[in-house]
Structure 1
Amino acid sequence: MPGIRTAAQAKAWLEQQGKSVQEFAREHDVDPATTYQVLSGRKKGRRGESHKVAVLLGMKVGVIAPAPASGESVDH
């Protein structure tokens, strides 16, 4: 398994793909501001959307739970 990326490596990976942070965020349906915050280290990616971003960028090993389908209720 490849290693975890640092923020600098994640930025370089995006650049290698020719993608901006905005494009990455649109493709993965995540907030661009959260993506910038994870890349800058202001958010650690511990939970919620920042967790999803960190996993997608390869900065963290984790599982992304699927979003509930529209009209589907979430049991609490």
Structure 2
Amino acid sequence: MHNSYPSEQACEQARQRLANQGLSAKRWAEMHDLTPSTVYAVLNRQKKCLRGESHRAAVLLGIKDGSPTN
């Protein structure tokens, strides 16, 4: 669904990928020029990730399909 939040499973998989890489969400955010609070909000399903920085974070985290520049 276009207006729904990312699934819990997708967010958990993204958290696991970060852990496997030995990266904190904060460090990953800094590496991608994102604010840590946005990345935490995306990972915790507090944002719908429809546009802007949250959309970019979700695409880069692999939570949703799309272009990170949308």
Q: TM-score range by the shorter chain?
A: 0.7 to 0.9
Matched length: 62
Partner of 1:6, secondary structure, is helix
Q: Which one of the candidate residues 17, 28, 33 is aligned to 1:29?
A: 33
In the superposition, the TM-score normalised over structure 1's length comes to 0.77
Unaligned 5+ segments in structure 2 are 1-8
Q: Identity of aligned pairs, percent? A: 45
RMSD: 1.4
Unaligned 5+ segments in structure 1 are 67-76
| Corresponding position of 1:49 | 53
Q: Which runs of 4+ in 1 moved over 4 A?
A: none
Given that 2:11 and 2:45 are in contact with CA atoms closer than 8 Å, whether structure 1 keeps it comes out as: yes
Give the number of the structure whose alpha-carbon radius of gyration is greater.
Answer: 1
What amino acid maps onto 1:31 in structure 2?
Answer: T
More helix by share: 2
| Corresponding position of 2:22 | 18
* Larger RCO, structures 1/2 (Cα 8 Å, 6+ apart): 2
